[in-house]
Amino acid sequence: MSSHKTIHVGGEWRSALSGATREILDPADAKPFAVIAEGGAEDADAAIAAARAAFDQGPWPRTPVAERAALLRRVAGLLRRDREELGLLESRDAGKTVEEGRVDIDCVADAFVYFADLVAAEGAGRVVDAGTDTVHSVVVHEPVGVCALITPWNYPLLQASWKIAPALAAGNTFVVKPSEITPMTTVALIGLLVEAGLPAGVANIVTGPGHSVGARFAEHPDVDLVSFTGGLVSGTKVAQAAAVGVKKVALELGGKNPNVVFADACATDEGFDTAVDQALNAAFIHSGQVCSAGSRLIIEESVRERFVAELARRAAKIRLGRGTEDGVECGPLVSEQQRAKTEGYVASALEEGAVLVTGGQRPEPSGIRPATGYFYEPTVLDHCHRGMRVVREEVFGPVLTVETFRTEDEAVALANDTEYGLAGAVWTADAGRARRVAGRLRHGTVWINDFHPYLPQAEWGGFGKSGVGRELGPAGLAEYRESKHVYQNLDPRPVRWFAG
């Protein structure tokens, strides 16, 4: 496959029909390292047509569940085989450290295995008691059809796998559009699906921009489901376009996630150290470019001063640099646009009264921080409040805001005072308080004395403007299915409703 043949339609790799290409930049130095096809609406149409034909006439939707599950397990094995290569590619594509990239590949493989196991363990359907021996009634699950999958730039392969694995497990065909900024590992995954023996036309990819490819996916009449992960504005447009065709829609639209720390969690040196360490992880993993990043530290007033001082001290020591270099703890932002956006939020926060404790600027270049890279220092802003844009809106950069509370009720109110509702955490040594607060938080995932872990068998998604639908878990598979009730009368007789 030549470097620019990154569109896969009906089992064939091809260039864009227009011949357009795009350079993919390494965010560590802003230099191109790959060239991809820049597809458009006509490429999207071709991919959807291939997926439609493969669903309506091909073998995959009618392939026995055991065979579908076996293919997903083969894909997981191939991912593990290529872990180092894919981890490095994810690092160069998205700017994260190689170790983060390797962890991502492990999680992708786990997702394929989970959905393989889930469908393989299912029965033939749910028998419904009709109240009589003369009726056999069962609810079965069937694939939705052609699924359009639109994925973000921050976790390219992981987010693609959360959609592709359940879509295939359920027997669907699909078209996928990765972010035009970070498409490389999704392209590689399609190659692994082909290697694993997936029939032609089941998996199709179009690399290209959202305004043409993504928009066409969402509006196309032959698409049955649209699953989108990304920003709120784009997600709203996807939902509006899909609504015209009354398509199934799943949206994961980010979050503004609270990390609530009670003073009793910091009562011991070990507890204090752990809470500070996890607050750093919550905010600064992958330079804060995480939909579930704990970017809002909400801390009890009595420990704020000590906690913020130690947090800032450690944040200032985070080693920034090219993700492929040894010793680097945090890479660059994904693009110049994203860095400029982050700088704009910090500037507005300072104008609105926030206090800069550490960071807030581009770091000095070094051997592992090329001057042309999109680096930005981990930033802590104290004395923040809900009226600030930086507290209300998703920054998607290494910026942590600090708010304080005095009572449990106030902590819960602050944590829930957001139009999003993806994830949040509570830190406390009081088991009763932990359960109470977790129960009151209006967020799709709540961690107690932890931050960021997820399980493929547990649903992921949010309340409010964080989206609709769920990924992972049984509900993540259900998104890609239709339920059908089959009612069989075993002893049919005339009803005689009408006398004649």
Answer whether residue 16 shows pLDDT above 90. yes
- Provide mean pLDDT across the span 93-97: 96
Q: Whole-angstrom Cα distance, residue 307 to residue 275? A: 9
Nearest Cα neighbor of 161 from 481, 495, 471, 490 is 471
pLDDT, position 499: 83
For residue 55 the two structure tokens come to 């669903």
Which residues are marked as active site?
Answer: 252
Q: Whole-angstrom Cα distance, residue 137 to residue 74? A: 35
Answer whether residue 302 shows pLDDT above 60. yes
| Residue 123 banded pLDDT, cuts 50, 70, 90 | confident
Give percent above pLDDT 90 in the chain: 98
- Provide mean pLDDT across the span 131-141: 96
Answer whether residue 456 shows pLDDT above 80. yes
Answer whether residue 2 shows pLDDT above 80. no
Q: Considering the entire predicted model, what is its pTM?
A: 0.96
Q: Whole-angstrom Cα distance, residue 90 to residue 186? A: 10
**C-beta of residue 20 within 8 angstroms of C-beta of residue 37:** yes
State the CB neighbour count (10 A cutoff) for residue 139: 13
Give the chain's mean pLDDT: 97
**CA quadruple 356, 358, 360, 364: dihedral positive or negative?**
positive
> Mapping DSSP to helix (H, G, I), strand (E, B) and coil, where does residue 195 land?
helix
> Position of tokens 């991809």?
36
Contacts of 94 (CB under 8 A, 6+ apart): 27, 101, 153, 154, 155, 156, 182, 286, 289, 331, 334
pLDDT in tens, 165-188: 999 999 999 999 999 999 999 999
Q: Whole-angstrom Cα distance, residue 137 to residue 158? A: 39
Answer whether residue 9 shows pLDDT above 70. yes
The highest-level CATH class for domain 258-448 is: alpha beta
Answer whether residue 135 shows pLDDT above 80. yes
> Mapping DSSP to helix (H, G, I), strand (E, B) and coil, where does residue 47 land?
helix
pLDDT in tens, 77-89: 999 999 999 999 9
pLDDT, position 500: 73
> Mapping DSSP to helix (H, G, I), strand (E, B) and coil, where does residue 48 land?
helix
Answer whether residue 1 shows pLDDT above 60. no
Amino acid at 419: E
pLDDT in tens, 260-276: 999 999 999 999 999 99
Answer whether residue 433 shows pLDDT above 80. yes
> Mapping DSSP to helix (H, G, I), strand (E, B) and coil, where does residue 496 land?
coil
| Residue 3 banded pLDDT, cuts 50, 70, 90 | low
Q: Whole-angstrom Cα distance, residue 103 to residue 26? A: 20
Phi first, then psi, for residue 403 (nearest 5°) are -125, 155
Give the start-to-end residue ranges of the domains of the chain.
7-253+466-486, 258-448
Q: Whole-angstrom Cα distance, residue 408 to residue 262? A: 9
Give percent above pLDDT 70 in the chain: 99
Amino acid at 204: N
Amino acid at 107: C
Contacts of 259 (CB under 8 A, 6+ apart): 278, 279, 282, 283, 294, 296, 297, 298, 424, 425, 427, 451
State the CB neighbour count (10 A cutoff) for residue 327: 8
pLDDT, position 412: 98
Amino acid at 308: V
Answer whether residue 227 shows pLDDT above 90. yes
Answer whether residue 4 shows pLDDT above 90. no
* Architecture of the domain delimited by 7-253+466-486: 3-Layer(aba) Sandwich (3.40)
End-to-end CA distance of the chain: 71
Distances (CA, A) of 52 to 33, 190, 204, 357, 365: 34, 18, 11, 55, 50
**C-beta of residue 157 within 8 angstroms of C-beta of residue 185:** yes
pLDDT, position 124: 85
